[in-house]
Structures are given as structure tokens and as C-alpha cells.
A and B are shown apart, each in its own frame.
Chain A
Amino acid sequence: AAGVIQSPRHLIKEKRETATLKCYPIPRHDTVYWYQQGPGQDPQFLISFYEKMQSDKGSIPDRFSAQQFSDYHSELNMSSLELGDSALYFCASSRNPGGGSSYEQYFGPGTRLTVT
């Protein structure tokens, strides 16, 4: 079965540089989520999109932005990178069954970002 695809898997950047992470959801999944997991931490919700519209926002720094495109893939753009941005960034996707229900979120393998 197809899974969530994330690219790149590893990324090394220097402070103050920019980075773009990409996420390709499972086919027919209409919702994409981004999470950040620092070393030894639990995943923290950043932002989500449903049908290409932002649906929820968490503790995402103003230096970060994201969008979902017409083919449902999503990109997380990170600017003015700081050492503290070093983390594992997960994308997850789910299918909206409607009616206030909540389908499980399937996670991609993550992008490990290292800022030096």
C-alpha cells in the first residue's frame, strides 16, 4: 500500500539559511499535517491543511510557512534557520470522513533537519 512520502529524508543547513520540506500524502487523502519532533521529545503539531486550505495552526514559528497544492502535496518552508530548528519533521495524512469524525493519521518517514 502507498504511504506518505517525504523529501528529502535528510537535510543539513547552516544558520540563517532556508529549507523546503515536501510531503506527498497517501492517494485520496485530503488532509495533511506537519509535526516537529525535537531530540527525545514528542511530536508537536505545527499546521494542517484540508482541501488546500489551512485548517489548524499550532506552535509554528512565524519564520515557517506552509501550503498545500492542487495535487494535495504540501511544502513546509523554513527561513532564517536557527540551531533550535534541528529536529525530525513529520508529515501525516488522513482522509476526512465528514461529520466531525477523525480518521487515523498516517505518518511519513520524516525529514531529519540539522542546522549547523
Chain B
Amino acid sequence: AQKVTQAQTEISVVEKEDVTLDCVYETRDTTYYLFWYKQPPSGELVFLIRRNSFDEQNEISGRYSWNFQKSTSSFNFTITASQVVDSAVYFCALSEGAAGANSKLTFGKGITLSVRP
């Protein structure tokens, strides 16, 4: 069975600090996909990134970067120079490719990030 663990529940930082959100996953499949979603106070779920199990290359998009390490089953997300607008709940999610295309997402419990001015 697939499982996503986000051990941090709440993180509070001051604006311009860097912050890393941790994500650890469990799956028996060799083909799987990892995602990060942002849920701001308005409630919508915003897609941030998708990474497949065969691509361990780290990715950077502006102030966001992701570190995927299969050896530790982790897919961590770092926000550099955080801003107040980054305040949201961040979910890490997993889908198993072997179960067929477009498999359901299994979410972690989410991390509430508060960025103070």
C-alpha cells in the first residue's frame, strides 16, 4: 500500500528565511509519481510539481526547489527567501504508475506554513 508521511505539521518562519518541507513516501511499485500541491487559505489546490520515479534530477523553479532521493524515499521541497504569500498548507502526494494510468493520489497530512512579515 502506498503511504506519504509529512512529519512536520506546522512551520513558522520570518519573511526571507529559507524553509524546507519534508516528505517521505512508501510504495512497492518501481514506477510511481510524486507531487507537491499548495492549498492557500482560499482553499483551492494548486499543482506545483510532478516527478516520476525514474528521474532523480533535482528541480528549481524560481524560489522553489525540490530534492528527490530514492535512497531515502524522500521528496523534499525548499522555498528560498520565503514571502508572506507562501503561507499555505503544502501537500505531498504519491500515485503508483503500475496500477494504471492516472492513478489516484494519496496525500500526506499536509504542512501548514506560516510566513510572518
B residues in contact (CB < 8 Å) with A: 31, 33, 35, 37, 43-47, 50, 52, 91, 95, 97-110
Interface flags, A66-99, vs B, CB<8A=1, else 0 = 0000000000000000000000101010101111
9 contacts between A and B (CB under 8 A): A31-B102, A33-B104, A50-B102, A92-B105, A98-B101, A100-B97, A100-B100, A100-B101, A107-B46
Contact check, A105 vs B101: say whether CB atoms are below 8 A apart: no
Interface residues of A (CB under 8 A from B): 31, 33, 35, 41-45, 48, 50, 55-56, 58, 88, 90, 92, 94, 96-110, 112
B97 contacts A48, C-beta separation under 8 Å:
no
| Nearest B-chain residue to A49, judged by Cβ | B102
CB closest residue in chain A, given B96: A102
One of B91, B102, B104 near A42 (C-beta < 8 A): B91
Contact of B47 among A45, A96, A104 (CB under 8 A): A104
- CB proximity of B61 to chain A, nearest CB, Å: 14
User: In whole angstroms, how far apart are the Cα atoms of A97 and B101 in the complex?
Assistant: 8
> What 5 A-B pairs are tightest by C-beta distance, nearest first?
A107-B45, A42-B107, A45-B104, A31-B102, A104-B50
